């Protein structure tokens, strides 16, 4: 029985190491491919895509890798639990250990996706002449605001809500990916036509974020992130 326990543990830990390596390599490859696309050195069929189309391709690739990694870990989880059915108390202890591992890895995947999004937003920000440091300033202001709201204690919000808002804040301008450089980098005022195009970035951001967070198992965060992208230019009183 001890040999069986050791064998299952070794197999599972190797799976965790393999999962970390696959996730890291996949994320780095996606970032490199996205950089190559912006630098114009990607394959012609890739360069023929719009930014939003290529973003969907990259996100699908990340989602596929994450799903495979989680499937492997969960498969090892099931195998390990089966090995401990002969001893109930040992099984429960090992199940709890595996649950912690899976939760950590799931959180790690979410953080990788968030880092990927923030990296893309940094690229978008580098294209926009008018918003240098905007992502960081917005994140800092939102963090300070929700901390004050929590201290006030009269808004009926909890730690999870505040965490979701703070995490989603840097993503609010992701729709600018779909705005043409000629408009995004234009000095001075927009023409009425350019202004109308610029205003589409909020709805486009909501659409893009809905695809990015589709497989994130946190409905509250998903809705907050999408709403923040979609409505961050709305008046507080809802009048436009």
Could you read off the pLDDT of 145-159 as tens digits, one per residue? 998 988 888 788 888
Q: Could you tell me what percent of the chain has a pLDDT over 70?
A: 74
User: Which has the higher per-residue pLDDT, 172 or 122?
Assistant: 172
Range with top average pLDDT, 19-33, 60-74, 91-105, 142-156: 142-156
pLDDT range class, residue 201, cuts 50, 70, 90: very high
Comparing CA positions, the residue from 71, 70, 43 lying closest to residue 57 is 43
> Average pLDDT in the 76-92 region?
63
Comparing CA positions, the residue from 72, 52, 203 lying closest to residue 64 is 72
Distances in Å between the Cα of 236 and the Cα atoms of 140, 195, 206 are 20, 21, 19
Which pLDDT belongs to residue 112? Answer: 65
What is the spatial distance between Cα 18 and Cα 126, in angstroms, rounded to a whole number?
A: 34
Which pLDDT belongs to residue 125? Answer: 67
**Does residue 195 register a pLDDT over 70?**
yes
| pTM of model > 0.85 | no
Which pLDDT belongs to residue 131? Answer: 56
> Average pLDDT in the 62-91 region?
67
Distances in Å between the Cα of 87 and the Cα atoms of 4, 5, 80, 161 are 12, 11, 12, 41
**Does residue 207 register a pLDDT over 90?**
yes
Which pLDDT belongs to residue 196? Answer: 93
Distances in Å between the Cα of 169 and the Cα atoms of 108, 126, 173 are 19, 18, 9
Q: Could you tell me what percent of the chain has a pLDDT over 90?
A: 11
Range with top average pLDDT, 3-17, 60-74, 215-229: 215-229
**Does residue 130 register a pLDDT over 60?**
no
């Amino acid at each position: 029985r001890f040999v069986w326990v050791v064998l299952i543990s070794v197999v599972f830990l190797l799976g965790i190491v393999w999962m970390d390596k696959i996730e890291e390599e996949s994320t780095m490859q996606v970032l490199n491919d996205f950089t190559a696309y912006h630098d114009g050195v990607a394959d012609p069929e890739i360069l023929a895509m719009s930014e939003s189309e290529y973003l969907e391709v990259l996100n699908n690739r990340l989602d596929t890798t994450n799903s495979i990694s989680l499937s492997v870990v969960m498969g090892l989880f099931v195998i390990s639990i089966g090995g401990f059915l002969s001893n109930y108390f040992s099984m429960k202890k090992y199940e709890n250990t595996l649950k912690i591992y899976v939760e950590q890895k799931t959180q790690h995947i979410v953080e990788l996706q968030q880092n990927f999004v923030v990296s893309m937003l940094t690229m978008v920000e580098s294209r926009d002449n008018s918003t240098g440091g905007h992502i960081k300033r917005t994140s800092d202001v939102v963090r300070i605001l929700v901390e004050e709201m929590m201290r006030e204690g009269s808004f009926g919000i909890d730690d999870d809500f505040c965490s979701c808002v703070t995490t989603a804040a840097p993503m609010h301008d992701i729709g600018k990916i779909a705005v043409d450089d000629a408009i995004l980098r234009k000095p001075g005022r927009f023409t009425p036509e350019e202004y109308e195009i610029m205003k589409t970035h909020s709805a486009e951001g909501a659409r893009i974020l809905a695809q990015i967070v589709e497989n994130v198992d946190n409905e509250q965060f998903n809705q907050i992130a999408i709403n923040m992208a979609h409505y961050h230019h709305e008046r507080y009183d809802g009048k436009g």
